[in-house]
Structure 1
């Protein structure tokens, strides 16, 4: 599917679970016709149970619910959790579930990493927030800093059709979007309240999100802020960041200073010298783990979504971002990032850069090229086509079915 820019949208920034979950759950509680949901992680914790409750209530009201969760990211949902939904007619789909091998998950690559909710084809949520308690600040020091957007307007139609096709919905209608395109959709007259839905897959849209980042950096005139949890992009994006800084654009990068996985910081540090030498300002967010995937450019361009700037998101995972042209939203997101920079970030100065030795340079080159070619290496492993597994409602026991038939017959006689 290819999409174009849509005008006349209403876009609200949602920060962390405290803002995100009430808006999503409230929308589902008001649903009258349909709910579409995709997520990487759905845990059976307080957040997952709250989602489960509003979905159960909606299904009992007759709302059509279709949801898909990733088989790697959500491996431990109980049978009771799932069957209580499917019994009420909910289409519950696992994306590429795989059995454990020696107690370990094997379906590591080509994950469904999108986080999308659409209610009544009227309001949509897109971003990086999963359905787990670790996105609430009350979770503690390991709570994740993250973002999503709530959107209303014409762009919701594009998001709806995309999710319907992704989960094999019976409602999906084929449209003219299906032609192949090798260029990102361009907006010749950027204005306000405009949005573009961009996704990444392993077929026709392998680098669409990356292309929009590259185009943004090429067009930047004043200021760019990128906040990305897992930052290890390819050479093209690193080069454009350097080029922007060297022609006078203020380029600021926010990465994890308190990472949820130590390897994340190790990988990012390999790039510090290359970026800082060209004038890119690098900051580490140190309050808690950063999970955001957001950026702003100048006074108008913004993006919020699920895509990191690393080999998994840029080359393997299924991702979705919203590209936004809107001055008011840009300012809202910019103000949020400026607050993070001033209160919770530490700038990587010369005295904090990795040592400039031949050993460090050699290590950086080897590790960089290994990680950048990792998707291709993963492709050499035994390949399979990711499959969708529809969870069917439980079969009623034969005795229970017979009792119901007999009761119906008795009722008919009387």
Structure 2
């Protein structure tokens, strides 16, 4: 028994040291990245079926190359149809590259990987856990979702590939998420980011090849992409919060902001900003819902509004500031996205489009229940106990 506890203690100590040193060396080597302002045509999708219909159609129409990066690809009929489409395009002679996060897409079988490669798809995993900092690298995941078709059409947002994202998981119901289609100048930046991640995983340098960067038209919507690699996302969120003057709407499936951003939200409310936070009523992972509750009491007392979306699962990652700027991307409003995951967000500065996003969020609020201080008082001892555990684990949820 003593030996057992010593082994457990050793594993815990090793994990703590591994994580701390891994984080230290990661921060030392990364640089802040930011693409320039671009003008593109942008389309908003908030249902998986409409996104899949559009994405699959664009892939079918591709004539040169298809580049796909997802965090999660499930082992189901939807994923199977997606992979069959990619293999069909590769057999037609197109360059097809598929990049998946090793942990997020762990359901992909060796048989399917072999089939993809045998049918001409260039496939690899990214962010494979490795030594010397195995525990840290296990948690440092590529959470980006990027699709680029012929270098002319790009996609970015919260959807992955699987049946749950089109509402076919009975436990979660309808899936609400926000995803963007980009046509115009901005596509080159999505292409650059994909090729950067591809090089990071394969050592294959493709970003200087003009083949992947065709001439692009200028659109009407001003925007810029901001990739983050486990750092600097906090600065983006803070700037939006600290400069808000009238209203701040935050949609996120996981609300675990940490002390610094939490204090910024309280200060915003204290200076008169209307702060609205939309989170899901349901949970798709253990403890993530409970991890949000320790923040809610002070937010409500400061005058913030918290709404819980009950019509299915709310997975959108979106911030709207003063009806003038919005942020849509892959990053959740939680510690994992802030300090561990590799993400990419799109800041949009076009007022008509921002108003479209805001009105879409307001429609989602029609299917959300406002949380009150009275609701918090009614929490059971079991619920409160789970919140204590979730607070301890919050960095890794």
TM more than 0.5? yes
Report deviation, 1:201: 1.1
CA distance in 2, matches of 1:97, 1:165: 16
- Give the structure-1-normalised TM-score: 0.77
How does 1:8-27 map onto structure 2 within 5 Å? 8-27=39-58
| Residues 67 and 167 in structure 1, CA contact (< 8 A), matched pair in contact too | no
State the match for 1:92 in structure 2. Answer: 123
Please point out which of 223, 236, 241 is paired with 1:195: 223
Report deviation, 1:346: 0.8
State the match for 2:81 in structure 1. Answer: 50
Aligned residues: 345
CA distance in 2, matches of 1:68, 1:363: 35
State the match for 2:141 in structure 1. Answer: 111
Report deviation, 1:90: 1.8
Are positions 1:269 and 2:304 aligned together? no
State the match for 2:6 in structure 1. Answer: none
State the match for 1:248 in structure 2. Answer: 272
Report deviation, 1:294: 1.2
State the match for 1:390 in structure 2. Answer: none
Report deviation, 1:9: 0.8
Report deviation, 1:83: 2.2
Secondary structure of residue in 2 paired with 1:172: coil
Are positions 1:6 and 2:37 aligned together? yes
Are positions 1:81 and 2:112 aligned together? yes
How does 1:87-236 map onto structure 2 within 5 Å? 87-97=118-128, 108-143=138-173, 144-168=175-199, 169-173=204-208, 193-202=221-230, 206-207=231-232, 209-236=233-260
Are positions 1:327 and 2:351 aligned together? yes
CA distance in 1, matches of 2:388, 2:85: 50
Report deviation, 1:367: 6.4
Change in 2 beyond 3 A, CA 1:288/1:107 = farther
Secondary structure of residue in 1 paired with 2:74: coil
**Which stretches of structure 1, 4 residues or more, deviate above 3 A after TM superposition?**
96-99, 105-108, 138-141, 360-368
State the match for 1:351 in structure 2. Answer: 374
CA distance in 1, matches of 2:237, 2:129: 33
Report deviation, 1:332: 1.6
CA distance in 2, matches of 1:44, 1:265: 25
| Residues 290 and 390 in structure 2, CA contact (< 8 A), matched pair in contact too | no
What's the Cα RMSD here? Answer: 2.8
| Residues 283 and 345 in structure 1, CA contact (< 8 A), matched pair in contact too | yes
List gaps (5 residues or longer) in structure 1.
Answer: 100-104, 175-190, 379-414
How does 1:299-314 map onto structure 2 within 5 Å? 299-314=323-338
Report deviation, 1:22: 1.0
Change in 2 beyond 3 A, CA 1:107/1:42 = farther
Report deviation, 1:193: 0.9
| Residues 36 and 119 in structure 1, CA contact (< 8 A), matched pair in contact too | yes
Deviation readout 1:139-166 (Å, 9 max, x if unpaired)? 4341432121101111111111111011
Report deviation, 1:19: 1.5
| Residues 287 and 387 in structure 2, CA contact (< 8 A), matched pair in contact too | no
Report deviation, 1:366: 9.2
Deviation readout 1:9-54 (Å, 9 max, x if unpaired)? 1111111211111111111111111111111111131221121122
Range 158-167 or range 82-91, more displaced: 82-91
Report deviation, 1:353: 2.3
State the match for 1:381 in structure 2. Answer: none
Change in 2 beyond 3 A, CA 1:48/1:37 = same
Secondary structure of residue in 2 paired with 1:339: helix
